[in-house]
Structures are given as C-alpha cells and as structure tokens.
Amino acid sequence: MTGYSDRINHAFAYAAKHHDQQVRKGTRLPYLTHPANVAVILTRYGCDDDAVVAGILHDVVGDCLRDGWTRETLDERIGTKFGNRMLEMLLSVTERRTDDDGVELSADDRKDDYLARLALASDDARWVCAADKLHNANSILSDLRRTAFPETVWGRFAAGRDGTVRQYARVSERLREIGFNAPIVDELAHAAAELGRI
C-alpha cells in the first residue's frame, strides 16, 4: 500500500506553494485540504504513488491552464519536476479551455470534452478523476448537513444544484461506460444520488 514517499512529499510541497492563500469555495478552509483528501481517498483504495501524486497535483494544473500557461511552460515547471507521463496524466483529467483546434469551449462544452477524454485517460488518471469528484461531492454533503440554509452552499457553484449533482452523476456513468468499474465509482454514484435527495 502507498504511504510516505519523497515523491509524495515533493508533490505536497509543490501544491502547498501553488495553493498558498487559496481557500475552498465558500469556506475558510485552506485549499490544500482538497488535494490532501483526494490523496487520502486514493491511498484508502490502495492506489500507487503515481495516482497519489497526481491526486495532489491535479488542481495545480487546472489553475495553470486557467491562468493561460502554455504547454511549454507546463513542461518546464511541472514536467521537469514530476515527469512528462505525470503531466500527461494530469492534463487528461483537467477541463480544457480550448479544444485541439484552439476554439474556446463553453462551460457545458468543457464538461462534455472532459467526459469524452476520460476514454483516453490511464486508469491512474481515472482514479484521480473519481477521487476528486468524490471528495467534492462529500464535502458538499457535509456542508449541506450542517446548514439550515442550503442555498448558501449551492450558491457557490455556477452550475447550481441541478447542474452540479448531474455532473457528478455523469462522471460516474461515464467511468462505468468506458469500463472503469472500480468500487470508488459506486461510492461516487452513491454520493451523487445523496446530493440529489437532499
């Protein structure tokens, strides 16, 4: 089973530096709590170091793409530190702003593109995808159970309640559709269904 390693420590240090000053949407929690929880989920399922490192770094790449980093910059800043295979894995589970032809994608198109590209992703990348969405869904569930004002929780998300719940369900459905039937997919489907019931 995966435990402490220099690579995992290096990934946490890199993510901590990148996410410094960031907090989780609508909370005061340091953003690093999210990649840390993704790493814990992946470790709980016995994933290898590659998946855990990718789980820690997945939002670093997402932020960099949103900030307009080029592929060359990503290669230089992330690929050289963690390897090109790791960078490719991270890119495969990151929403893109533009398609292969450089055409800007709408918010809905970005989600559709993300789901389509899961078919080409490695199993480690699919684990990261599932763990990321599972932690997000469970965090929302926890927040909803602690508040008398659910609209304040759902107000954090541009897609609103229905769009957010549907996206988590779509991810679990897509993972099954492409043959990724790890138990984490059932856990994600259950969390999405719980969100839909609350």
Mean pLDDT over each residue of the chain, to the nearest integer: 92
**Tens of pLDDT, residues 16-27:** 998 888 888 877
Q: Looking at this protein, which amino acid is placed at residue 94?
A: T
Least trusted range by pLDDT, from 23-32, 67-76, 131-140, 146-155 = 23-32
C-alpha distances out from residue 16 to 21, 29, 44, Å: 9, 13, 22
Q: How buried is residue 33: exposed, middle or buried, by Cβ count under 10 Å (0-12/13-18/19+)?
A: middle
Domain count, the chain: 1
Look up tokens 């490695």; give the residue. Answer: 122
The CATH number given to whatever domain includes residue 134 is: 1.10.3210.10
Q: How buried is residue 4: exposed, middle or buried, by Cβ count under 10 Å (0-12/13-18/19+)?
A: exposed
| Structural domain boundaries, residue 127 | 6-197
Where does the pLDDT of residue 168 fall: very low under 50, low under 70, confident under 90, or very high at 90 and above?
very high
Q: Which strand (E) or helix (H) includes residue 16? A: helix 6-19
Determine the pLDDT at residue 137. Answer: 97
Q: What CA–CA distance (Å, rounded) separates 194 from 164?
A: 12
Q: Say yes or no to pLDDT of 9 above 60.
A: yes
Q: What CA–CA distance (Å, rounded) separates 149 from 75?
A: 44
Q: Which two tokens stand for residue 20?
A: 């410094």
Q: What CA–CA distance (Å, rounded) separates 134 from 139?
A: 8
Q: What CA–CA distance (Å, rounded) separates 109 from 152?
A: 26
Q: What CA–CA distance (Å, rounded) separates 34 from 51?
A: 15
> Does residue 71 fall inside a structural domain?
yes
How many residues are present in the chain? 198
Q: What CA–CA distance (Å, rounded) separates 102 from 84?
A: 22
Q: Say yes or no to pLDDT of 99 above 90.
A: no
Determine the pLDDT at residue 195. Answer: 95
> Does residue 147 fall inside a structural domain?
yes
> Does residue 1 fall inside a structural domain?
no
> Does residue 94 fall inside a structural domain?
yes
